[in-house]
Amino acid sequence: MKKKIQRIMILFITVTLVISYLLMFLLAYARIRDIAQENLRNEAAYFSAIVNRFGDEALTAMDGTGTDLRITLISQDGDVLYDTDEDAKLENHADRPEFQKALKNGSGSSVRRSDTMGVDLFYCAVRLEDGTVLRIARPVRSALFTALQFLPLMGLLLAGMLLVGVRYSRRKADELVRPINELKVDEPLSSDTYEELRPLLVRIDEQNKAKDAVANMRKEFTANVSHELKTPLTSISGYAEIMKDGLVKAQDVPDFANRIYRESQRMITLVEDIIKLSRLDEGEMEEIEEDLDLFDLCREICDNLVPYAEKHCVRMELKGSICHVTAARRLVQEMIMNIVDNAIRYNKPNGSVTVWAGGTIGGARVVVTDTGIGIPEDQLDRIFERFYRVDKSHSRETGGTGLGLSIAKHSAELCHARIYVSSRLGEGTRMEIDFDESERPLHKDLT
C-alpha cells in the first residue's frame, strides 16, 4: 500500500512538473518572440531615421559587420536597391506582405519563411521620406535559441523539484500508513485513526465481541455440563457404595437399583442432548428435507405422549387441519416434541395441553397451549439459553436439564422457522412455531 501511494504521488509530481516545464518553455518562447519583434520594430525606426538623414550610403556601412540582421532597401516598384544579402538583390519584392503594408500604412511587419535564405524570419518594413521602403529582418531561430538557453536551468529546477517531491511523497506515504500499522486489533475503537476506517473498526470490534461471547458461552457450557454430569454420578456412586458395603437391606435393593437406573438414564439423556446440540452447532446435521403434514406429525407426537400426560394428570387435545411444509422430519419432530413435553411437564394436575396445527395467511403454524405454571415475563427470552431453567429444583424433580428449548430453537433455525412464546404466570403458556420467515418479535402477549 505504501509503495502504491508513493508510486501514485511520484507519478503525479512528475507529470505535473513535466507539464509545467513544457508550459514554461512555451510561454518563455512566446514572450521572447514578442520582444524580438518589438526590438526589430525599434531597430527599423532607428535605421529609417539614419537613412532619411544620411541617404542609402549609410547602409553600405553595415556590410561585413557580421550581424544577423538583414537590411533591404526596396524601391516603390519592389526592386531591391540594397540588400546585406548580395544574392537577394535581383529579385523583385513587390509581393512581400510587409512591403505592401509599409507602402500603404507607413510600416508593416510579418513572420514568414524567406525565399532567398530558406529560414523563418521576422520582417519589419518602414516607408522612408523619399517613398522607398527600408526593411530589416532577423531569423526566428534567434528567439528560439534564446528560449532554449533557459532549458538547462529549467531542467535543473525540474530535477531538484522532482527530488524534493520524491522525498516528500515517501515521508507522506509513511505518515499515511503509520496510523494503520499502529491499529490495535484487540481494541480497535481505542485507536486514534482515520474517520474513514471507523466502519471497518466497528465491524472488527463487533466480531471481537461476538468471539468473546462465543468463548464465554463455551466456558459456561463446559462448566454446566460438568456440573450436570457430576450430580447424577455422585448419586450413582453414593448408592453403589452403600450397596457395596452391604449397608442396604435385601428388600431395599430394588429401590436402590431403580434410583441408580433413573440417575444413569438422566445422564444418558443429558449426553444425548449435548451430542445433538454440538451437532447442530457444527452444522453436521445433513437432514433431507421432505414434504411433511404438520397435523399428522402432531397427532403422532400427541399419541406418543398421552401415557406421559396421563401420568401427570394432564389432558391432551389436538386441533387443526392438514397442513404441509417442506422440512427435515427429524428436526421438526424434535422441536414439537420438546415443546409439547414442556407443556405437559410444567402443567398443573388436571390441566390441559392443546396442540393446534394448520395453515394461516402467514404460513404453516403449530401452536401449543397449556394451562400450566407459566413463565415470568422477564425470563421469556432466557428459557432458550442452554441449561436455563426457571425453577431449578422443579426441573430437577421432573428430570429437566434445560437443553430442550435450545435444541428446539436451533432446529427451528435450520428449518427456517421461528418460535414465539407468550405466557402468564400461574395461567399458562403459548408456544407458536411459525414456518413463515417474516420478522416478528420473539414473544407476544397471550391473548
By CB under 5 A, name the binding residues for Mg ion: 342, 404
- Pick the stretch among 1-9, 120-128, 314-322, 373-381 that binds ligand ATP (CB under 6 A): 373-381
By a kind-dependent CB cut-off of 5 to 8 A, residue 132 interacts, out of Mg ion, ligand ATP, none, with none
In this structure, which amino acid lies at residue 315? R
- Site track for ligand ATP across 242-281, x = CB under 6 A: -------------------------------x--------
The count of residues interacting with ligand ATP (CB under 6 A) is: 24
Pairing of β 363-370 and β 324-328: unpaired
Closest to 228 in 3D by CA, of 255, 278, 261, 263: 263
Residue 400 lies near ligand ATP (rule: CB under 6 A): yes
Residue 383 lies near ligand ATP (rule: CB under 6 A): yes
Residue 232 lies near ligand ATP (rule: CB under 6 A): no
| Cα–chain center distance at 182 | 20
Shortest distance, CB of residue 208 to Mg ion, whole angstroms? Answer: 34
Torsion angle (degrees, nearest 10) of CA 264, 266, 271, 273 = 160
The three cell numbers of residue 369 are 397451549
From the list 102, 134, 137, 373, which residue makes contact with ligand ATP (rule: CB under 6 A)?
A: 373
If the CB atoms of residues 150 and 388 are measured against Mg ion, the closer one turns out to be 388
Q: Residue 44 and residue 46: Cα distance in Å, rounded?
A: 5
Please give the radius of gyration of the chain, using alpha carbons only, rounded to the nearest integer: 52
Question: Would you say the C-alpha torsion 368, 369, 371, 373 has a positive or negative sign?
Answer: positive
- Pick the stretch among 156-164, 257-265, 355-363, 395-403 that binds ligand ATP (CB under 6 A): 395-403
By a kind-dependent CB cut-off of 5 to 8 A, residue 389 interacts, out of ligand ATP, Mg ion, none, with ligand ATP
From the list 404, 411, 419, 443, which residue makes contact with ligand ATP (rule: CB under 6 A)?
A: 404
Task: Kindly report the number of other CB atoms within 10 A of residue 405's CB atom.
Answer: 24
- Site track for ligand ATP across 130-169, x = CB under 6 A: ----------------------------------------
From the list 137, 405, 419, 433, which residue makes contact with ligand ATP (rule: CB under 6 A)?
A: 405
If the CB atoms of residues 188 and 404 are measured against Mg ion, the closer one turns out to be 404
Let me know: does 329 contact 290? Beta carbons within 8 Å: yes
The three cell numbers of residue 423 are 405466557
- Pick the stretch among 16-24, 92-100, 277-285, 368-376 that binds ligand ATP (CB under 6 A): 368-376
Q: Residue 107 and residue 292: Cα distance in Å, rounded?
A: 108
Shortest distance, CB of residue 236 to Mg ion, whole angstroms? Answer: 23
In this structure, which amino acid lies at residue 103? L
Let me know: does 359 contact 323? Beta carbons within 8 Å: yes
Q: Residue 263 and residue 234: Cα distance in Å, rounded?
A: 10
3-state secondary structure (DSSP) of residue 157? helix
**Terminal CA-CA length for the chain:** 61
Shortest distance, CB of residue 346 to Mg ion, whole angstroms? Answer: 8
By a kind-dependent CB cut-off of 5 to 8 A, residue 417 interacts, out of ligand ATP, Mg ion, none, with none
By a kind-dependent CB cut-off of 5 to 8 A, residue 429 interacts, out of Mg ion, ligand ATP, none, with ligand ATP
Shortest distance, CB of residue 272 to ligand ATP, whole angstroms? Answer: 10
Shortest distance, CB of residue 350 to ligand ATP, whole angstroms? Answer: 16
Q: Residue 320 and residue 44: Cα distance in Å, rounded?
A: 117
- Site track for ligand ATP across 332-361, x = CB under 6 A: ------x---xx--x---------------
CA-based max dimension of the chain: 161
The three cell numbers of residue 91 are 529579385
Shortest distance, CB of residue 240 to ligand ATP, whole angstroms? Answer: 25
Closest to 366 in 3D by CA, of 303, 424, 292, 266: 292
Residue 74: phi, psi to the nearest 5? -120, 135
Shortest distance, CB of residue 194 to ligand ATP, whole angstroms? Answer: 47
- Pick the stretch among 154-162, 257-265, 367-375, 437-445 that binds ligand ATP (CB under 6 A): 367-375
Q: How big is the CA angle at 337 (ends 316 and 404), to the nearest 5 degrees? A: 125
Q: Residue 192 and residue 179: Cα distance in Å, rounded?
A: 8
- Pick the stretch among 55-63, 187-195, 295-303, 387-395 that binds ligand ATP (CB under 6 A): 387-395
Task: Kindly report the number of other CB atoms within 10 A of residue 326's CB atom.
Answer: 12
If the CB atoms of residues 102 and 408 are measured against Mg ion, the closer one turns out to be 408
Output the residue with the shortest Cβ distance to Mg ion: 404
Question: Where along the sequence are the contacts to ligand ATP (CB under 6 A)?
Answer: 273, 338, 342-343, 346, 370, 372-375, 383, 388-391, 395, 400-406, 429
